[in-house]
A and B are shown apart, each in its own frame.
Chain A
């Protein structure tokens, strides 16, 4: 399938992700269909919502298993914000939720002075600013970039996850997505 699949779990803001992909010349569909997730060249697990309801949707639809199988089979998946957090073994959100278990680590409530953490932060070592909006963060050995001490990006096998929103991060975010897709 030529279209990128943006995984639907009932609450995500998928429209901005689709618009950004269109700007890069990529067609996309929003779907929770396990066959669509299995058969496309690229899958994006987007992020807005709460961990418990997102996992419940993913498990009900079979999307959870399809995403996990993709990564096991060496096919790319990009997680954004909550989509990154769902990839871990567990999250403290909503009283404790089991994640997809794709990436070793867990998600904990941020200990910042102000939560949620809203706004632009420089991601190191990349040296670019991206937009963040979150109350939870990942504790993991798979981190490849950080922002003010918070996990900003993780890479594990063919799973790549970012805590920031590339679709809301202006030209830097667009360039980031373009690079992710061109590496496939």
Chain B
């Protein structure tokens, strides 16, 4: 089914409460990034992931602070469906294959923050010399089961996703691609879903958490087939 509708949580107050809220509001999947104040604190991370898994009945991805197979293992065994790698995958590309070998490609997302066609690491602050499309191709070849593509240029502007970049990355890989950055309206989400497999929305729902069911209906009104869901 085309048109998966993700809600991304980053640095939010209570991930457990919000996760339940968005799940009840019709999100198809959740992406939880940087959910602990200190990513190095593996115990905190594990307990948050467990708490989310115990109350959530939809799939969720956890990113931020995954640097080793053991980190990924702890997160998946705590109930997450997938781990998302970003800077750590750029620093050690072999980490992608190592996690995929253990848990399958479907458990490994490579998140790419792209600015002016180049990969940026460390929360989008550090530009690298790697080209986004090339890195996406390499990540998929190394076992990534999904690419979470965020356009730094479009993020936060609410003028729509970077459709050109999304289409270019999607054409370069044979795994699903999630568009991220720039959602301001239901039409923007529909436009993204016309060129790729899934779209991530964050700030527009964080501002109005009660508005998710309405947003979902509005996306469907734009002609997108989402999964049947009842409020």
A interface with B by C-beta (< 8 Å)? 11, 13, 15-16, 19-20, 23, 48-50, 53, 82, 113-116, 118-122, 128-129, 131, 133-135, 148, 165, 167-171, 173-174
Residues A13 and B79 in contact, CB atoms below 8 Å apart: yes
The reply to whether B57 and A119 contact each other, CB–CB distance below 8 Å, is: no
Of the candidates A82, A116, A120, which one forms a contact with B28 in the assembled complex, judged by CB atoms under 8 Å apart? A120
Q: B4 contacts A120, CB within 8 Å?
A: yes
CB contacts (< 8 Å) of A133 on chain B: these are 59, 81, 106
Q: Which residues of A contact B145 (CB under 8 A)?
A: 116, 118, 135
Residues of chain B within 8 A (CB-CB) of A116 are 104-106, 145-146, 175-176
Task: Compute how far the CA of A23 lies from the CA of B20 in the bound complex, rounded to whole angstroms.
Answer: 14
Evaluate contact between B53 and A15: CB separation under 8 angstroms: yes
Q: Tell whether B103 is near chain A: CB-to-CB under 8 Å.
A: yes
Contact flags B78-111 to A (C-beta < 8 A → 1, else 0): 1111000000000000000000011111110000
Contact A118 B103 (CB under 8 A): no
Instruction: Please report the C-alpha to C-alpha distance between residue A15 and residue B54 in the assembled complex, in whole angstroms.
Output: 8
| CB contact between A169 and one of B50, B55, B57 (< 8 Å): that residue | B57
Chain B residues, Cβ within 8 Å of A82: 104
* B residues lining the A interface (CB < 8 Å): 1, 4, 23, 28-29, 50, 53-59, 76-81, 101-107, 145-146, 174-176, 197-198, 227-230
- Among A53, A114, A169, point to the contact of B175 (Cβ < 8 A): A114
B106 touches A134 (CB 8 A): yes
**Looking across the interface, which residue of chain A has its beta carbon closest to that of B102?**
A11
Closest Cβ neighbor of B197 among chain A residues: A114
> In the complex where A49-B104, A50-B102, A114-B197 touch, is A19 in contact with B175 (Cβ < 8 A)?
no
Contact of A15 among B78, B105, B229 (CB under 8 A): B78
Chain A residues positioned under 8 Å from B29 (CB to CB): 119
Which of A13, A114, A128, A148 touches B176 (beta carbons < 8 Å)? Answer: A114
What residue of chain B has the Cβ atom nearest to residue A120's Cβ? B227
Q: Are B198 and A135 in contact (CB under 8 A)?
A: no
Is the pair A129, B105 in contact by a Cβ cutoff of 8 Å? Answer: no
Report yes or no: A13 in contact with B81, Cβ–Cβ below 8 A. yes
B105: which A residues are within 8 A, CB to CB? 116, 135
Question: How many angstroms from the CA of A111 to the CA of B215 in the assembled complex?
Answer: 33
CB distance A170 to B58 under 8 Å? yes
CA distance A30 to B55 in the complex (A): 19
Q: Are B58 and A131 in contact (CB under 8 A)?
A: yes
Given the complex of chains A and B, what is the CA–CA distance between A120 and B29 in angstroms?
Answer: 10
Q: Which of A15, A120, A135, A169 contacts B77 (CB 8 A)?
A: A15
Residue contacts A-B, CB under 8 angstroms, 20 given: A11-B102, A13-B76, A13-B77, A15-B50, A15-B77, A16-B56, A20-B57, A48-B81, A115-B174, A116-B104, A116-B145, A119-B1, A119-B28, A119-B197, A121-B1, A131-B59, A135-B105, A167-B57, A168-B58, A171-B57
Given A13-B76, A134-B106: A122 in contact with B176 (beta carbons within 8 A): no
**A20 proximity list for chain B (CB < 8 A):** 57
A122 touching B57 in the complex, CB below 8 Å, given contacts A11-B103, A19-B79, A135-B104:
no
Contact between B174 and A19 (Cβ–Cβ < 8 Å)? no
Of all chain B residues, the one with the shortest Cβ separation from A82 is B104
B80: chain A residues within 8 A (beta carbon): 13
Task: Contact check, B176 vs A49: say whether CB atoms are below 8 A apart.
Answer: no
* Known A119-B198, A174-B57; 4 more pairs at CB < 8 Å: A20-B57, A114-B175, A135-B104, A135-B105
Sorted nearest first, the 6 A-B pairs with minimum C-beta distance are A15-B79, A120-B227, A129-B227, A116-B106, A133-B106, A116-B145
